[in-house]
């Protein structure tokens, strides 16, 4: 898996900051021809590696046959396409293997940042081969959040650098580069599957925006938000976001 992610990352990196076609799938949702090319490459390699596994990817029309599969590849060919098309480094190839609804292997390959993240269930997480561990922050005020701006209600938090890739932001919690990542919207499994395992294996606490356990290979392939934190602030984060999350999840 890591070799396949590296091949895909190198392919995307070679075309980064070049003249490629790009468009919007929907307003504010960019895609480019490299997304599609990486998707084809990764699918060919992964299906040869594990032919019996199902397939779920941002750049492939969903096939509900995957629901009958005990194993599932969950792929975002370029997570953080907005950064990719703007020539910014905050993007990654994201690949996860799901077994019975939970990620068991996760890889993020971020060549523009010189980062390779790996995790295997029960065996920890690494960044460029070195073990990573979530921080030990227990006080919610002062928590580091990868974001462009903080709303007034969260002015007691600290903004840190934010890559466009949600997977890389979650990985920042795994490596004690951030204390809290939260999204309050319906999101897709391919955005977070690999990163959720990386964070969890590094000792972070991960849930949906309401504090419930995330599940994968669901019929909708979506969950309401993601919340990745140091263990000591997770309950406080759920409490802080509770009213907003409940209002937005309806």
SS3 75: strand
* Distance (Å, whole) CA 100 – CA 54: 12
Residue 191 is labelled as binding a ligand = yes
Residue 233 is labelled as binding a ligand = no
Distances in Å between the Cα of 153 and the Cα atoms of 16, 156, 157, 194, 202 are 38, 8, 9, 30, 29
Q: What is the largest CA-CA distance in the chain?
A: 50
* Distance (Å, whole) CA 146 – CA 61: 31
Run of H or E including 116: strand 115-120
Q: b/e per residue, 86-101, with b = 16+ CB within 10 A?
A: eeebbbbbbbbbbbee
Residue 148 is labelled as binding a ligand = no
Order of strands, edge to edge, in the sheet holding 92-99?
A: 54-57, 71-79, 92-99, 102-110, 115-120, 125-127, 130-131
CB atoms near residue 72 (< 10 Å)? 25
Residue 79 is labelled as binding a ligand = yes
Binding region: 58, 76, 78-79, 191
Binding region for Mg(2+): 58, 76, 78-79, 191
């Amino acid at each position: 898996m890591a070799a396949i992610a590296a091949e895909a990352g190198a392919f995307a990196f070679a075309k980064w900051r070049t003249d490629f076609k790009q468009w919007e799938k929907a307003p504010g949702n960019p895609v480019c021809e490299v997304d599609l090319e990486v998707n084809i490459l990764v699918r060919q390699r992964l299906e040869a590696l594990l032919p019996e596994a199902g397939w779920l990817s941002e750049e492939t029309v969903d096939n509900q046959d995957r629901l009958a599969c005990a194993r599932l590849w969950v792929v975002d060919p370029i997570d953080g396409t907005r950064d990719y098309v703007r020539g910014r480094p905050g993007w990654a190839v994201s690949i996860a293997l799901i077994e019975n609804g939970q990620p068991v292997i996760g890889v993020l390959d971020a060549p523009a940042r010189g980062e390779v993240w790996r995790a295997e269930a029960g065996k920890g997480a690494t960044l460029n081969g070195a073990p990573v561990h979530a921080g030990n922050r227990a006080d919610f005020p002062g928590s580091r959040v990868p974001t462009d701006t903080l709303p007034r209600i969260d002015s007691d938090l600290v903004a840190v650098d934010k890559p466009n890739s949600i997977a890389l932001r979650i990985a920042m919690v795994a490596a004690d580069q951030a204390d809290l990542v939260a999204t309050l919207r319906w999101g897709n499994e391919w955005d977070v599957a690999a990163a959720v395992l990386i964070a969890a294996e590094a000792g972070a606490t991960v849930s949906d925006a309401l504090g419930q356990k995330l599940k994968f290979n669901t019929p909708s392939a979506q969950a309401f938000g993601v919340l990745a934190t140091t263990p000591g602030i997770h309950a406080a984060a759920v409490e802080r976001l509770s009213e907003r999350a409940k209002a937005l999840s309806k």
